Every structure is written in structure tokens, then in C-alpha cells.
Amino acid sequence: MLAIDPAKKLSFNRLISNGDLVIVYERHDNMKAVTVSEGSVLQNRFGVFKHSEWIGKPFGSKVFSNKGGFVYLLAPTPELWTLVLSHRTQILYIADISFVIMYLEVVPGCLVLESGTGSGSLTTSLARAVAPMGHVHTFDFHEQRAGSARDDFERTGLSSLISVRVRDIQGEGFPSEFAGLADAVFLDLPQPWLAIPSAAKMLKQDGTLCSFSPCVEQVQRSCETLQNCFTDIRTFEVLLRTYEVKEGKMENLNGDNNDSNGSLPCKRRQRSDGSYAPDTSVSSVMARPCGEARGHTGYLTFARLKCL
């Protein structure tokens, strides 16, 4: 997923080869991760797609099924991965993830601690942010989840940037070997306040912490605990409003030109340079917010370790 090795730059028009992870795109709300395997097929409502026909095509290609249906094959990114990964837990989504990375000031070379790993949605973006020389140590007390996450990081090619360990972070705290070494700590735990004192020990001075909690009562308790060693404690909620765009014709009530009859078929006259030919019918591109949206994910509480 990442160009950890500078010799294999992402920008090269890479061709799909056997064993590659591809994101099969049907529609923006229907995607799937597939590992290309010479003899395999992908079957969906559009028909049967032979993997062997994908090999050698560039990422971004449109490929066809036996019935003439088509999908696109995209190169995986952390954003696409978050949309296709298997949900073993609740996960963080793009708006929260991107804000967390920016607000924790995670940059290449950082050492980041995370708990719990969950489905690894955030971990994938953390790994991208610390690459190529940093590292993410992520902890979950659920052995099976930790194992599945490890498998996923193998599949997405991130295992050199991420170490997954099984540990009860609320009970035992982070391992002392990281004391004073972490640039940033991220918590997505049911009782984050239990892990905060340990997180404080792990951080470098002025290091950043973020705790994600769905409920305001959790935030309340975390903030009380943070007062002891942290400063610049701030809580946010981040959401996204998406828009749908369509071209439509508006009826012209003035009647000042005889083309204004709404029942006339509206012909788009767009020139190839993008400008519109003069046309008396009123057709325009319009945007409006989508009717449904995610209304709440969780609160993000950030803090900095006090300088003493």
C-alpha cells in the first residue's frame, strides 16, 4: 500500500501482478478488497471476472466480466482500506482519522503508541504518517483481534511499520520499554482514564495524546484525569457533510424568451474546452447536501504532556 521502499515509487504507473492487493470498485458505496491470484475469479452481480485478465493491466483500469459488466481496479490506500476492511469492532472513519493524525502532529519518524487496535482502521493511517522510518506499536487485549489485525497489516504490506501486541492496557499500562520515547499516544478504549497515567509516562515532553470516546461521560472522566499531567486539553467533534451534484433545468417563469417552456428537452451544449455555448434554456449544475449522514462518531480529546 505504501512505497516504503523508495525504489518502488507509488507514482509509477504500476501494473497489477499476481499476489497484489487491489480494491475492486463497483460504485463509491460498493468496494471490495481482493488479492489477485492467477487461477481465481471474482463473481458479483455483473458476472464473472477472471483474475488472470487483470494481471499486467495498470491500476485504475476498467475490467470486464464474461457478461460485459465492468468494475475498476484501484491501488489500495488507507482511505480505501477503511472503506473495505472487515469490521471486527467499531472503527474510526476518515474525518476522525485525518484530524487525529494532524492534531497529534504525527510526521515521518514518529514513534506512536495505540490501544486498542480494533480492526486496524486508524493504525493503517498512523503507519502511513510515520513512514518510512517511524513505527506504530499497537496493543489490544483481544488475542484473536490482534491476530487478525496482524494478518491485515501483512496483507496491506505495512507490517514493517506496525507491531501488534496482546496486552491489557487499562490494567497494565503500556510496556515500560517505551517510557519517555513516544511522540504521540492514541487511545480508543472503554475506560481511557485508566490508561492515561501510563500514557503520560510514555510520552516525550510536549508529546501529544488523543482519546476517542463515543460518550460524553467517558470524556468527562478522561479530562479530569488529564488535568494532572497534561495541558492544552481540548475536545472536538468532527463530522462530514457530503453533497450530491446534478445537472438540472430550471423553469423560467419570465417567459421573456420562447425557449423557456419547461417541457422542451434540454440539450447540453458543452464545448470540449469546458465553456458553454450560448443557449437560452436554463440548465445548470446544482449541489445540495445528501439527505443522510453520520450524526455522531465520538468525541476526540487531545492534550499535551506538560513541560516540567
Partner 1 sequence: MSSSANGNNSNNGRVTWEGCSVLLDINDGDRLVFARLSPAAKLKIGNKNCSLQPLIGTPFGSLFELDGTSLSPLIPSPQADATNNEEIKEDGQPNAESRDNRELVDNNTAQTLTGEDIEAMRRQGAGGNEIIEALIANSATYDKKTAFSQEKYRRKKQKKYAPKVLLRRPVARSICEAYFKKYPSKIGFLRVDTLSLLLSMANVSANSDILVVDMISGLLTGAVAERLGGTGFVCNSYLGQSPYSMDIVRIFNFSDEICKRIVRCPIADLLSSKESPEQTLQVADVNDACNVESQSNDPMGATANTDEISHSPGNGISDLGTENAENENIPVIRACKATKAGEKAPQETIDSWKENGFSSLLIAAPEMDIWPLVRDVLPLLSNSAPFAIYHQYLQPLATCMHNLQLAKMAIGLQISEPWLREYQVLPSRTHPSMQMSAFGGYILTGTKICSSSC
Ligand X SMILES: C[S@@+](CC[C@H](N)C(=O)[O-])C[C@H]1O[C@@H](n2cnc3c(N)ncnc32)[C@H](O)[C@@H]1O
By CB under 8 A, residue 283 contacts partner 1: no
Print the binding letters for residues 164-193 with partner 1: x by CB under 8 A, - otherwise.
-------------------x----------
Residues 131-170 that bind ligand X (CB under 6 A): 139-142, 145, 168-170
Which residue of 48, 179, 216, 250 would you call a contact of partner 1, by CB under 8 A? 216
> Which distant-in-sequence residues (6+ apart) come within 8 Å of 62 by Cβ?
70, 71, 72
- For the record, the C-alpha cell of 4 comes out as 516504503
* Cβ pair 299, 236 in contact under 8 A: yes
Nearer to ligand X, 60 or 190 (CB): 190
Q: How buried is residue 47: exposed, middle or buried, by Cβ count under 10 Å (0-12/13-18/19+)? A: middle
State how beta strands 47-50 and 41-44 pair: antiparallel
Q: CB of 16 within 8 A of CB of 57?
A: yes
In angstroms, the CA 76 to CA 33 distance is 8
How many residues touch partner 1 (CB under 8 A)?
A: 85
Q: CA-based angle 116:172:204, to the nearest 5? A: 75
Quote the CA–CA distance of 251 and 57 in Å, as a whole number: 47
**String of contacts with partner 1 for each residue 117-156, x by CB under 8 A:** --------x--xx-xxx-----------------------
Cell output for 278: 450560448
281 vs 297, beta carbon nearer ligand X: 297
Residues 78-97 close enough to bind ligand X by CB under 6 A? 89-92
DSSP character at residue 15? B
Which residue stretch of 33-41, 58-66, 126-134, 187-195 sits at the interface with ligand X (rule: CB under 6 A)?
Answer: 187-195
Q: Is 301 in the site for ligand X (CB under 6 A)?
A: no
Residue with smaller CB distance to partner 1, 95 or 266: 95
Q: Which does 170 bind (CB under 5 to 8 A by kind): ligand X, partner 1, none?
A: ligand X
> Closer CB to partner 1, residue 87 or residue 246?
246
User: What is the distance between the alpha carbons of residues 83 and 124, in angstroms, rounded to a whole number?
Assistant: 12
Q: Does 158 bind partner 1 (CB under 8 A)?
A: no
Where do contacts with ligand X occur on this chain (CB under 6 A)? Answer: 89-92, 115-116, 118-122, 139-142, 145, 168-171, 188-190
